Amino acid sequence: MAKDTDRLTLYKELEKQLKYSRFVHTMGVTFTATSLAMRYGADVKKAELAGLLHDCAKYVPVDEMERICREGGLEISSFERGNSALLHSKAGSVLARTKYGVTDKEVLDAIRFHTTGRPGMTLLDKIVFIADYMEPGREEAPDLSIVRPLAFSDLDQALLQILSDTLDYLEGTGKKIDPMTRRTWEFYKTMVQTEK
Ligand code: DGI
Ligand code: FE
Ligand code: FE
């Protein structure tokens, strides 16, 4: 987003590309991410761009997601194959680069890891991951009244809470859990406890 005209064009383009409910979610993630960026001194424009594009591949058919990842040079694990919940973030980071012209690696990584997180997340990764979970349109998570204020006082504690709740939720549904989601949780559990 070099110029403001590009920025406004992107908002308009996403409104066209996404289902209306997904566009409203995207707006929620974008302004939550920019607020967190202001709070923690992250780059506000990068937070805006990553928030806007984080779900840009959400409605791409899953075989197309796989093709986009392969052509973008991202390997697909046997675990991810056929799983659009996991592949839309990876494919989204490729589309952000190839279709929307994003070159910033930090922004592309924040999009790529917004579903599973990763050990050693950057500040921008954490901001987008957390904003995705707690934006105003989210209602289903059990602990939002804890996570929302916590995110503005202790970002890593909020991250750990979200990871624990996501794992509990996935275990409850019997869905297979990506090894990356577990590794991220283990990493932050150890880190947050060691800090105490
Ligand atoms: O795209 P969104 O709906 O805004 O949110 P998201 O990208 O965080 O998550 C998409 C879905 O992926 C959500 O239902 C939770 C799920 N998910 C997160 N980690 C894992 C996972 N699903 C599976 N099967 N395994 C995981 O490890
Ligand atoms: Fe997503
Ligand atoms: Fe999302």
Q: Is residue 149 part of a domain?
A: no
116 CB less than 6 Å from ligand 1?
yes
Which residue's CA is the closest to the ligand 1 atom numbered 23?
Answer: 177
Share of the chain above pLDDT 70, in %: 97
Q: Is residue 195 part of a domain?
A: no
80 CB less than 6 Å from ligand 1?
no
Amino acid, single-letter form, for residue 52:
L
- What is the reported pLDDT for 99? 95
- Stronger pLDDT, 175 or 57, i.e. the higher one: 57
Q: Is residue 135 part of a domain?
A: yes
Q: Using the predicted structure, report yes or no on whether residue 186 has a pLDDT greater than 80.
A: yes
Q: State pLDDT tens for residues 23-36.
A: 999 999 999 999 99
Integer angstrom CA distances of residue 189 from 38, 109, 160, 172: 26, 22, 7, 20
pTM over 0.85, yes/no: yes
Q: Please choose from 22, 62, 86, 132 the residue to mutate so as to test ligand 1's pocket, defined by most ligand atoms within 8 A of CB.
A: 86
CA of 163 to the centre of ligand 3 (A): 15
- What is the reported pLDDT for 196? 60
User: What is the residue range of 78's domain?
Assistant: 4-139
We report the CATH number of the domain holding residue 37 as 1.10.3210.10
For residue 49, give the nearest of 117, 136, 119, 109 by alpha carbon. Answer: 109
- What is the reported pLDDT for 97? 96
